[in-house]
Amino acid sequence: DGGITQSPKYLFRKEGQNVTLSCEQNLNHDAMYWYRQDPGQGLRLIYYSQIVNDFQKGDIAEGYSVSREKKESFPLTVTSAQKNPTAFYLCASIGQGAIGQPQHFGDGTRLSIL
Amino acid sequence: RKEVEQDPGPFNVPEGATVAFNCTYSNSASQSFFWYRQDCRKEPKLLMSVYSSGNEDGRFTAQLNRASQYISLLIRDSKLSDSATYLCVVNAGNNRKLIWGLGTSLAVNP
């Protein structure tokens, strides 16, 4: 079945460590997104990519980095510069076609600081 | 004014009740609108897209009012399983960046 796979489901980060969250989709979608959600809060956009080898900063990009070398993959690195990384991270994608396509989500990754 | 605003609730209603949520948006160039539901500690799931003429899916009805820049979601005959947070989503004009509301919490009580 087509879908978005995020891994790992749970991740722990030590102080000063960079960690990478994986997001893979087999939906042949062009656009991919990373969001952060804190408890009781809404989704905040970190980065998004509309095509391969191109990406744009969202509202809270500081302390994060991404790459989009393949259409299927959009990994997110949480760097040591992100001082408060504990959150629920959600990856999403949108298909081709006219504006009006909804986003599809992976199951999310919960990141905590050790 | 926030780009997308929702009443956070919580809305507490008895089973069988009808409940309505509104969501206002600030970008008059927005072209696509959605309602998602999110259960606790889960990813958001698409509930329904919102079309200009309004649309219905079973007990759920969505409406768009472009003049006043709001969308609405009506849930009839509420079930316990409808308890969740309902998120309003609007696209940012002519690109595929979506703007998310903070959500409205619904609790349906027996």
> Which chain B residue's Cα is nearest to A6?
B43
Cβ within 8 Å of residue A16, ≥6 positions away: A80
Question: How much is the average pLDDT of A16-22?
Answer: 94
Cα–Cα nearest to B97, from A49, A64, A3:
A49
pLDDT (0 to 100) of residue B51: 87
How far B99 CA lies from chain A's nearest CA (Å)?
A: 9
**Phi/psi of residue B82, nearest 5 degrees:** -80, -10
- pLDDT tens profile A50-107: 999 999 999 999 999 999 999 999 999 999 888 899 999 999 999 876 567 888 999 9
On whether any CB of chain A is under 8 Å from the CB of B2, the answer is no
Cα–Cα nearest to B44, from B103, B93, B90, B97:
B103
Query: Strand locations in A10-106, DSSP E?
Result: 10-13, 19-25, 31-37, 43-51, 54-57, 64-66, 76-78, 87-94, 104-105
- pLDDT tens profile B25-44: 999 888 899 999 999 989 99
| Model confidence at A2: pLDDT above 80 | no
pLDDT (0 to 100) of residue A98: 55
Diameter of chain B by CA atoms?
Answer: 43
Interface of A with B in 32-51 (CB under 8 A): 33, 35, 41-43, 45, 48, 50
Contacts of A31 in chain B (CB under 8 A): 96
Contacts of A107 in chain B (CB under 8 A): 42-43
- pLDDT tens profile A82-97: 889 999 999 999 987 6
Angle, CA of A24, B100 and B22, to the nearest 5°: 140
Rounded-to-integer distance, Cα B4 and Cα B67, Å: 15
